[in-house]
Structure 1
Amino acid sequence: MTGYYAPKGGLPPQTALMTQRAVFTDAYAFIPKGCFSDIVTSNLPGWTNTRLWLIARPMSGFSETFSQYVMEVGPGGGSDTPEPETGAQGVIFMTEGELWLSIDGQEHDLGPGGYAYLPAGCAWRVKNAKTSPARFHWVRKLYETAPGVAAPEAFVTSDRDISPIAMPDTGGRWATTRFVDPGDLRHDMHVNVVTFQPGGVIPFEETHVMEHGLYVLEGKAVYKLNQDWVEVEAGDFMWLRAYCPQACYAAGPGPFRYLLYKDVNRHARLRGVGGFGR
């Protein structure tokens, strides 16, 4: 691991070409790192000295299960009331700087690679007590209960403390850092880090029900999105709806790593939002 890419904002110069790599289709959206400019940041109620890029949100007919923010908390900034949505769970993944985090009174210090799972209903607070910005991803999803299954508990860990698990028959060229056991049915979402060594591939077109958010933390590759091969690099974001075919070839000189969201471990909805019944 050489580091995690974090956007700094700013604007391209007036001499720059307007043509970039951004794409929005019925099957996927691709937001290149050049789109993370100052003019598309937002502020949040209840947060101080903080701005964010909101890169995924539930949209009818597209991806409907999650939202993802790229957060930048300046010195002294943070929130005592960060989550306004009843029933929302969250994951924080640090990319730069340091952040103080309190979960139900338990205090933690997060640095680059730090990971925190925030269960629905917990009381959490964050503050940047340092002199440089803290940058992190915040993934949010409404927790879906299941009969006979207990709700998961909060935990804090780090990408640097967990060994990636190689995919079978890949010689270690494709591996996943799993922060949650895939067999733990308490969790209805996974936020993991996927690593490809140079030359590693997804050797078939994955086509499945899980929605994805993929933020490239390091390296570069070519990624198959539906019918298109797209060059991707650190700082780019890919947003895939359910059943969008995908594949990957890690073509760069070093590791290609991305933060991956997917929804898991629950029945398909047949009624209400996301279903056809009434």
Structure 2
Amino acid sequence: MKNLAEVKFLDRMESFSIHSLLLALFFLCIRDLRISFSQQGICSAPSILDSPPLYWKATNPTLSPAHLRELPGFTRSVYGKDHALITPESHVFSPLPDWINTLGAYLITPPMGSHFVMYLAKMQENSKSGLPPSDVERFLFVLQGVVTLSIMSGINHELEVDSYAYLPPNLEHSLKSDNFATLIVFERRHAHLENHMADLIVGSTDKQSLLETPGEVFELRKLLPTSLAYDFNIHIMDFQPGEFLNVKEVHYNQHGLLILEGQGIYRLGNSWYPVEAGDAIWMAPFVPQWYGALGKTRSRYLLYKDVNRNPLL
């Protein structure tokens, strides 16, 4: 049997252990808070009342699977003869030609087999765009920040997140940003049709009406007019979790795609790829393609599609 002194000693040791454990947990919490504040800034600490900005995952993507993020050499990017998946960990940024204080990452270019380019433009403080080459049309969509579109006629447009602009070929214009902004940009040499003139278009996704999609469940918006003056269109397609394309598409049109929100599975050819916000895809003519949305939130992507032109031309 333990004497009274031994019992008191054991009680003190048990109390000391509990206090030590609580103190250790307290310092761990303090350390985590310091790390959080150092990464985000004390004024930007997350709040359950704050909602993240639109498309924040497209400009701040995660890499999946999570346990491979730090594995040297790991990437989900794939390049093939009829499709490519370019994921954010593979982006290579360099100064954009003729742009000021702007870094660009080309995601789709003609050497792949495309007749258009698709690139990310990261505008820094006091940045300004250059002009595309002669006879090249440009479409831009704002993913982050605010940019000012100035037309040489003296007209200015403030473009915020989810806003876009189509610039006809040879239109004098500039894009300026006082702070950080991210754009997705498409450019291609315009396939002009006689007696059909493309006009400047400025708009935002939420101002575009939903279009009918017979036999499908996804929501569709077209950002450009469907008239013959335009040789491509940009579609915004929304899928709720579990929704998918009914048609397993195989067609002559080329596609350039950027996932803006959510995650899912994309079939390209005979391969099936997990995809998420921030991923870019190129699809050559006649590659089998299909998409199904996964996760718990809406899936949205932006899609380039060439239209209104005879494939022989």
Provide TM-score, normalisation by structure 1.
0.86
What letter matches 2:106 in structure 1?
Answer: L
What letter matches 1:74 in structure 2?
Answer: Q
Contact 2:58 2:261 in 1 (8 A): no
**Matching residue within 29, 35, 38 for 2:90:** 35
**Matching residue within 173, 177, 181 for 1:134:** 181
Rounded Cα–Cα distance in structure 2 between residues aligned with 1:177 and 1:89: 21
Q: What stretches of structure 1 of length at least 5 have no aligned partner?
A: 271-278
Contact 1:65 1:263 in 2 (8 A): no
Partner of 2:18: none
- Greater share of strand residues, 1 or 2? 1
Partner of 1:263: 306
**Matching residue within 98, 102, 127 for 1:46:** 98
Rounded Cα–Cα distance in structure 2 between residues aligned with 1:64 and 1:22: 18
**Matching residue within 51, 57, 77 for 1:22:** 77
- Greater share of helix residues, 1 or 2? 2
Question: Does the alignment pair 1:250 with 2:293?
Answer: yes
Number of aligned positions between the proteins: 257
Partner of 1:155: 201
Rounded Cα–Cα distance in structure 1 between residues aligned with 2:147 and 2:70: 37
Rounded Cα–Cα distance in structure 1 between residues aligned with 2:107 and 2:158: 26
State the structure with bigger RCO (CA 8 A, min sep 6), 1 or 2.
1
String of CA shifts for 1:1-36, please: whole Å, max 9, x gaps. Answer: 962144369x9x994342221111111011112223
Provide TM-score, normalisation by structure 2.
0.77
How far is 1:181 from its partner? 3.2
What letter matches 1:230 in structure 2?
Answer: Y
**Helix, strand or coil: the match of 1:186?**
coil
Contact 2:84 2:282 in 1 (8 A): yes
Partner of 1:107: 156
**Helix, strand or coil: the match of 1:34?**
helix
Rounded Cα–Cα distance in structure 2 between residues aligned with 1:96 and 1:163: 23
Contact 1:6 1:96 in 2 (8 A): no
Question: Does the alignment pair 1:179 with 2:223?
Answer: yes
Question: Does the alignment pair 1:201 with 2:250?
Answer: no
Task: Write the mapping of 1:68-83 to structure 2, written as runs, cut at 5 A.
Answer: 68-79=118-129, 82-83=130-131
Whichever of the two has the greater Rg, that structure is 2
Contact 2:253 2:306 in 1 (8 A): yes
Partner of 2:7: none
Q: After TM superposition, where is structure 1 displaced by more than 2 Å over at least 4 residues in a row?
A: 5-9, 13-20, 163-166
What letter matches 2:123 in structure 1?
Answer: V
Q: What stretches of structure 2 of length at least 5 have no aligned partner?
A: 1-51
- Aligned alpha-carbon RMSD (Å): 2.4
